[in-house]
Structure 1
Amino acid sequence: MRYNKFLKWFAVASTVGMLLILLGGALVTKTDSGMGCGRHWPGCNGQLIPSEITPEVLIEFSHRLVTGAVGILIVVLAVWSWKSIGHIRETKFLAFMAVFFLILQALIGAAQVLWGQGDFILALHFGISLISFAAVLLLTLLIFEVDQKFDTDKIRIGKSLKWHTIGVSIYSYIVVYTGALVRHTNSGLVCSEWPLCRNDQFELPGNMYEWVQMGHRAAAALIFIWLAIIAIHVIRHYKDQRAILWGWIIAFILVTAQVITGMIVILTKLNLYVALLHSLFISLLFGLLTYMVLLVSRSKDSR
């Protein structure tokens, strides 16, 4: 029992650490600190520890340190979970995914520093980190389920909700990618009005940057509507299943918060703190949606 208690706290620390990696990466991008250490990796400006500290160096080097430290936690968590709860069918797959995608995002980050990458490739960086975060989050939830399963061992999900769950989860990754593309192409303020691009008049985007910005807004609007429909359906038909009911209610709250912070980001001309909240909400939403997919995979029958 004490062994499991330590594993739980370690899993929580690893999950929080992965969130810090995600937000740290967003901070690097939003503050244009990616070249804070020059074309040097893993060192910084030709040194193991930089002697000259500028805001850009501090942000970039701190992100690397956090990624390295949390990376060790993730590897330990993966091995520990494999040995402790490897009998649970999802454990080994999630442990592998957590480590694999953590390493992959680190390699893409290193490649950007050493050789540079196109905006469309860089936009994948956040999404790859997000997959690792989701895997760590699900591992943590599995560890907590060992002692208290709530009602997740009695899940009954109908075909309609199953397809909605899988579809909106896949689609959420597209929303994440378009948001990352907005950041990496510097399209954040190309449209100064909200919800339309300018002058509160509907017109087609006039250049690639407007297409990127308005494409992301359209994608965000669709996932907001989609999750609202799912939430209404669940409230009507799944009141007897707490994990399903509250999971989708929280998902709708998170997507609402994401839309609101996205609007505020535009109206405040890219306020850094609001922009980081925007990244936080979409990260939590994606993690929650992957958990709903896990519950779908456990569903015994359909309604």
Structure 2
Amino acid sequence: MSATRTWFITGASRGFGALWTEAVLERGDQVAATARDAAVLKPLADRFGSRLLPLALDVTDRTAVDTAVHSAEQQLGGIDVLVNNAGHMLVGAVEEVSAEQARAQMDVNYFGSLWTTRAVLPGMRERRSGRILQVSSFGGLVAYPALGIYQASKWALEAMSQSLAAEVGAYGIHVTLIEPIMFPTGLAEGSPRSQPDPAYDHARQALYTGASESGFVPGDPAATSAALLAVADAPNPPPRVLFGTGGLDALRTEYAGRLAGLEEWDHISRLAQGNPVRK
């Protein structure tokens, strides 16, 4: 696509968000980029001038999200592409994490994306076009020990986004879930951790052992920029796309196991069905 587009990218201060914001600007589009501290975006603002609108934003604040989206629409025009990238990864067994940590994880990863998505939808529906790129995770498709709350936030994002896609397709709006597998972006290092309980040392060990035995090879975060632009430019983008290699084999094993388990216990499914009298 050659026409200049307007993007709204959350979590633009580091990792994928920083790389993608720069890539979008370098190709000539304009971006409303958000970070909790907009000052970190100053180097990009100095380079790209008015094509970058830096916005301070905590995505968990729904009123602030609405205000930021409105500001972007007023200053840059209608938002063509939303990238919900803001998030963190809480490490800890389900019993270990505090209530505050669990709520914060859902507030950022799920509700933050929900509020931003809802804020851009009226404009996209009115223009009958738009792209919503939800940054999920390979952990949005499978679940590993010691990451249950993080992955729950991504599973929630997956379900919401799949339903959303069916709701807004009639308005020319495409929704794509991006599933990064393994990239050294600093996400884990910059995320909170629970207070470890020795009772779950085995769960953490299983996570680390599984990661080392998965066969996943860390990808180049910079290379994801070209992949993101390709998805955003595709006439008919996919509902889901893996970023990185090795995921398909792992998913084949995961889903085959799920189906095998359901088939093994199908007699219970039939027991639960009963024999209702048809009228």
TM over 0.5: no
Give the number of the structure with larger relative contact order, counting CA–CA contacts within 8 Å between residues 6 or more apart.
Answer: 1
Greater strand percent: which structure?
2
